[in-house]
Amino acid sequence: MTHEQTLRIAMNGITGRMGYRQHLLRSILPIRDAGGLTLPDGQKVQVEPILIGRNEAKLRDLAEKHKVDSWTTDLEGTIADPTVDIVFDASMTSLRPATLKQAIAAGKSIFTEKPTAETLPEAVELAKLADEAGITAGVVHDKLYLPGLVKLRRLVDEGFFGRILSLRGEFGYWVFEGEHQAAQRPSWNYRKEDGGGMTTDMFCHWNYVLEGIVGSVKSVNARAVTHIPERWDERGDRYEATADDASYGIFDLETPEGDEVVGQINSSWAVRVFRDELVEFQVDGTHGSAVAGLQKCVAQQRAHTPKPVWNPDLPVTESFRDQWLEVPANAELDNGFKLQWEEFLHDVINERPHRFGLLSAARGVQLAELGLQSSAERRTVDIPGITL
Ligand SMILES: NC(=O)c1ccc[n+]([C@@H]2O[C@H](COP(=O)([O-])OP(=O)(O)OC[C@H]3O[C@@H](n4cnc5c(N)ncnc54)[C@H](O)[C@@H]3O)[C@@H](O)[C@H]2O)c1
């Protein structure tokens, strides 16, 4: 494309939580309001969102509020529109493959929320189609762009940990049932038949987090459970929660150097937070350890490691949390979604692949699928490589 061009971005599912807050409000509108994306030569490429959804009134309100010229309920027609450069999807997961397939067939660049599909064959098919079409395809890998994880990755790159031994993650918070206090997440998340479920939702994130921080995932042993069997939906109606609302996973990992690392991540919508952030990852290595949340990262070197002695008869004599040092950002770290959007847009302009594409997304879907299989069969499941 020529640099003077404006990128027209068809944004589907923009009235939803993620589509509105993260992608429109925190990413595309700030890029637009800054006059567009700045290229290395100083030129600007403007972005022009087209809001797509089912509810005309909602779309019109959003468009007016944010001074967006284009909105429509015609998804298919917009994808087919030759003036549209990029198709973005943040709608319900179950509707995604059809939208993406249509966009790939129309030769559009695509950027999409995760998971790309509910089943592995569908996710692999999408990756294959995008590969054959030679389009630029990006899948949200937002966690890797978060300040906390950027700092954690930097520690890995600098060899801070020595040999990495383990990674443990804690994710989740209490999601209200909806009876007396409204639930703070959509009800479809708790219905299997609508594509909901903690394992499906989060293991696709954990796959790229594990790959992006430590290495590839070789096997999974998970326990997916439904702790809260009934909930109340957006209209206050009671429904059966058919999907898992917590998933406890153990992962065998392999670093690029061939070292084996044990990964363990607990994910739950039925847990109360006693952490500094809603997700935290701790990496322990022979030379040091670090704990990263969404924003913060603290580390402790081997030389500063205390020598606790187990004695249940005495009260704790030292403050373990105070023995960690904060890792500085040493840079301005913007919103993770916006950073990935900007990287993706540069890739589209340069007609090159995005580093987190549909194959990485398919590995995420695979981890979720095999995690559920592991849970159902109560065994460890090996993860075969995916080839297109
Ligand atoms: N990257 C992340 O951290 C993250 C976090 C949460 C959700 N997600 C993903 O984002 C996507 C959207 O999740 P959300 O939490 O924003 O959900 P949401 O329910 O708030 O939004 C879903 C959107 O899809 C639309 N929609 C719902 N049912 C539809 C139907 N039958 N036909 C057409 N459109 C329909 C809604 O109007 C809404 O715009 C999901 O795929 C989810 O997995 C990603």
> Within this chain, do residues 177 and 103 fall inside the same structural domain, yes or no?
no
Is residue 183 lining ligand 1, measured as CB closer than 6 Å? no
Is residue 357 lining ligand 1, measured as CB closer than 6 Å? no
- Determine, yes or no, domain membership for 48: yes
Is residue 89 lining ligand 1, measured as CB closer than 6 Å? no
- Domain span at residue 120 reads 7-141+336-357
The CA-CA-CA angle for residues 150, 155, 159, to 5°, reads 145
DSSP string, 109-175: EEEEPSPS-SSHHHHHHHHHHHHHHT--EEE--GGGGSHHHHHHHHHHHTTTTSSEEEEEEEEE-PP
Q: What is the pLDDT of residues 347-381, one digit of tens each?
A: 999 999 999 999 999 999 999 999 999 999 999 99
The pair of structure tokens assigned to 386 is 């995916």
> Within this chain, do residues 289 and 348 fall inside the same structural domain, yes or no?
no
Residue minimizing CA distance to atom 33 of ligand 1: 54
- Determine, yes or no, domain membership for 276: yes
> Within this chain, do residues 129 and 81 fall inside the same structural domain, yes or no?
yes
13 CA to centre of ligand 1 in angstroms: 6
pLDDT of 93: 87
- Determine, yes or no, domain membership for 370: no
Grouping H, G, I as helix, E, B as strand and the rest as coil, residue 210 is helix
Domain count, the chain: 2
Is residue 302 lining ligand 1, measured as CB closer than 6 Å? no
CA-nearest of 80, 115, 109, 70 to 96 is 115
pLDDT > 60? residue 2: no
- Ligand 1 atom with the shortest distance to the CA of 93: 41
pLDDT of 1: 52
**DSSP strands (E only) in the chain:** 7-12, 37-38, 44-45, 47-52, 70-72, 86-89, 109-112, 137-139, 164-172, 216-225, 230-232, 238-240, 246-254, 260-268, 279-285, 288-292, 297-301, 325-326, 381-382
What count of residues does the chain have? 388
pLDDT > 90? residue 49: yes
Model confidence, pTM: 0.93
Residue % of the chain over a pLDDT of 90 = 95
In a mutational test of the pocket of ligand 1, which residue from 92, 294, 365 has the highest number of ligand atoms less than 8 Å from its CB? Answer: 92
Give the CATH number, domain containing residue 347: 3.40.50.720
Cβ burial, residue 251 (10 Å; 0-12/13-18/19+): buried
Is residue 16 lining ligand 1, measured as CB closer than 6 Å? yes
> Within this chain, do residues 301 and 350 fall inside the same structural domain, yes or no?
no
Give the CATH number, domain containing residue 248: 3.30.360.10
Q: Write the DSSP symbol of residue 188.
A: G
Is residue 98 lining ligand 1, measured as CB closer than 6 Å? no
23 CA to centre of ligand 1 in angstroms: 12
- Determine, yes or no, domain membership for 247: yes
pLDDT > 60? residue 343: yes
Residue % of the chain over a pLDDT of 70 = 99
Q: What is the pLDDT of residues 256-269, one digit of tens each?
A: 999 999 999 999 99
- Determine, yes or no, domain membership for 72: yes
- Determine, yes or no, domain membership for 69: yes
Is residue 25 lining ligand 1, measured as CB closer than 6 Å? no
Is residue 70 lining ligand 1, measured as CB closer than 6 Å? no
Is residue 92 lining ligand 1, measured as CB closer than 6 Å? yes
Cβ burial, residue 327 (10 Å; 0-12/13-18/19+): buried
Average pLDDT, the chain: 96
378 CA to centre of ligand 1 in angstroms: 31
> Within this chain, do residues 44 and 171 fall inside the same structural domain, yes or no?
no
Is residue 347 lining ligand 1, measured as CB closer than 6 Å? no
In a mutational test of the pocket of ligand 1, which residue from 91, 149, 208 has the highest number of ligand atoms less than 8 Å from its CB? Answer: 91
In a mutational test of the pocket of ligand 1, which residue from 14, 17, 207 has the highest number of ligand atoms less than 8 Å from its CB? Answer: 17
> Within this chain, do residues 170 and 109 fall inside the same structural domain, yes or no?
no
CA-nearest of 132, 270, 120, 74 to 190 is 270
pLDDT of 4: 57
pLDDT band at 3 (very low <50, low <70, confident <90, very high): very low
pLDDT > 70? residue 341: yes
What is each CA distance from 84 to 36, 129, 153, 180, 331, in whole angstroms? Answer: 17, 19, 36, 45, 34
Q: How many C-beta atoms surround the C-beta of residue 215 within 10 A?
A: 21
> Within this chain, do residues 240 and 132 fall inside the same structural domain, yes or no?
no
How far is it, in rounded angstroms, from Cα 26 to Cα 34?
Answer: 12
237 CA to centre of ligand 1 in angstroms: 20
> Within this chain, do residues 304 and 164 fall inside the same structural domain, yes or no?
yes
Is residue 13 lining ligand 1, measured as CB closer than 6 Å? yes
> Within this chain, do residues 315 and 341 fall inside the same structural domain, yes or no?
no
> Within this chain, do residues 166 and 81 fall inside the same structural domain, yes or no?
no
> Within this chain, do residues 84 and 180 fall inside the same structural domain, yes or no?
no
Is residue 53 lining ligand 1, measured as CB closer than 6 Å? yes
Check if the beta carbon of residue 93 is closer than 8 Å to that of residue 18.
no
pLDDT of 332: 85
Is residue 113 lining ligand 1, measured as CB closer than 6 Å? yes
- Determine, yes or no, domain membership for 250: yes
Q: What is the pLDDT of residues 90-143, one digit of tens each?
A: 998 889 999 999 999 999 999 999 999 989 999 999 999 999 999 999 999 999
Q: What is the pLDDT of residues 190-215, one digit of tens each?
A: 999 998 999 999 999 999 999 999 99
- Determine, yes or no, domain membership for 380: no
What is each CA distance from 383 to 203, 223, 252, 365, in whole angstroms? Answer: 13, 16, 10, 12
Q: What is the pLDDT of residues 294-321, one digit of tens each?
A: 999 999 999 999 999 999 999 998 999 9
Residue minimizing CA distance to atom 38 of ligand 1: 16
> Within this chain, do residues 268 and 234 fall inside the same structural domain, yes or no?
yes
Check if the beta carbon of residue 188 is closer than 8 Å to that of residue 207.
no
Contacts of 189 (CB under 8 A, 6+ apart): 196, 197, 201, 243
